[in-house]
Amino acid sequence: MSVYLDYNASTPIDPRVAEVMNSAMAGAYGNPSSLHWAGSPARELVENGRRQVADFLGCRAEEIVFTSGGSEANNFALKGRYFAAGHKSPHIITTRIEHPAIVAPCRFLERLGTRITWLPVDGTGRIDPDDLARAISADTILISVMHANNETGTIQPIEACSRIARKHGIPFHTDAAQSAGKIPTRVDELGVDLLTIAGHKIYAPKGIGALYIRNGLQLEPLIHGAGHEGGRRAGTESALLAGALGKACELARDLGPMEQVRELRDRFWHGLRERFGEQVVLNGHPELRLPNTLNVAFAGRVGSEILARLPGVAASTGSACHAGRIELSPVLEAMGVPPHVGMGTVRFSLGRSTTAEEIETVVACLSGIPVTVD
């Protein structure tokens, strides 16, 4: 048995995306910047891909910069804004439940003298927009709040937060690496100025992502060189990867398949409740949550030990063993999940190809695990 339930970690490449890549490999070997005949097919792939990403996010093509993935897009938003603002005592507001691709650049900017406010979350993993409003100061140069959390799937009140940011004239970034393709991510509906997506979370390959930058917002490039990407990211573009991300975005516009995923996810949860009752706890918001994510804690057990008993099931844990001690992830800790519950956390994340049979098989396998601690 091998069942893949780790789509929040990465997705397989959709065959329709692979088709675009195969034809790119066969013909588009020229440099997209070259003006001769060999440059044209490559340039077309890059610019068509950019248009498809823009259509998906509801913005203009020139507002999309290709990056190597979600981490680079997040770094570009934070550091690019820091250097462009050139503020003497800058302040950035973010949350306690961000991905390391936001936390680490914030820590770096802290070393350069930036004050960072880390907004708290409630037990479901949501921030309170009132906390954001109170944190704003005259020095705030950027607000960055993730759209949906990678571990729990909890969705943040982005529209309310971006309205507050706009009222104060502060650029607002959201990391939509997990939400894209699962819930709507149109930039004008969200009201954001910067938005991150990552190809390998939406059935494109690893190594490609994009940052949406609202027209008029200046960011200092991370990579200086020639004038690629409108002077915002130097380096010859990969037509292969840009074409792949574009196709993946075109496919991701249809959120219809997510309804089936949500049904399977809910069936999974009910199966676990039937077997484990109160011994299994849901981490994250019961409704305001990505349709594919099921983060559960088996009280009194250890997540990695549960997964070790199910070698055919690919899923993630929410705790790690450090120096003989079980440590909760910073996300679960910020939510105030008690350690004896949180240590038994397993994140199951479903995707387009997940079947009812797979879910039934995994529930049956989990049912073989003793309810109480050995």
Binding site for ligand PLP (CB under 6 A): 69-71, 74, 99, 101, 146, 150, 175, 177-178, 198, 200, 209
Find the Cα–Cα–Cα–Cα dihedral 95, 100, 103, 104, rounded to 10°: 180
Q: Are 208 and 241 in contact (CB under 8 A)?
A: yes
Which CB sits closer to ligand PLP, 100 or 312? 100
Residue of 206, 141, 134, 211 lying closest to 171 (CA atoms): 141
Q: Helices (H), strands (E): how many in the chain?
A: 14, 15
- Distance of alpha carbon 129 from its chain centroid, rounded? 21
Nearer to ligand PLP, 150 or 292 (CB): 150
Nearer to ligand PLP by Cβ, of 140 and 150: the residue is: 150
Q: Is 300 left (phi over 0), alpha (psi -120 to 50) or beta?
A: left
- Please state whether beta strands 140-144 and 91-95 pair in parallel, antiparallel, or not at all (unpaired): parallel
**135, 263, 249: which is closest to 185 by C-alpha?**
249
What is the DSSP-derived secondary structure letter of residue 304?
H
Token reading at 11 = 């997705």
Minimum CB–partner distance for residue 313 and ligand PLP (Å)? 19
Which pairing describes strands 280-282 and 3-4: parallel, antiparallel, or unpaired? unpaired
Query: Closest distance between ligand PLP and the C-beta of residue 371, in Å?
Result: 31
Q: Which residues does residue 282 pair with via DSSP β-bridges, in sequence order?
A: 296
**Paired strand residues for 208:** none
Who's near 184: CB < 8 A, 6+ residues apart? 255
Widest CA span of the chain, in angstroms?
70
Pick the closer one to ligand PLP by CB: 79 or 301: 79
Of 59, 106, 249, 321, the active-site residue reads: 321
CB of 82 to ligand PLP, least distance (A): 18
DSSP percent split of the chain into helix, strand, coil, nearest 5: 40, 20, 40
The residue whose Cβ lies closest to ligand PLP is: 70
Burial of 74-100, coded b for 16+ CB within 10 Å and e otherwise, reads bbbbbbbbbebbeeeebbbbbbbbbbe
**Which is nearer to ligand PLP, 102 or 313 (by Cβ)?**
102
Is 161 an annotated catalytic residue?
no
What is the set of active-site residues? 321
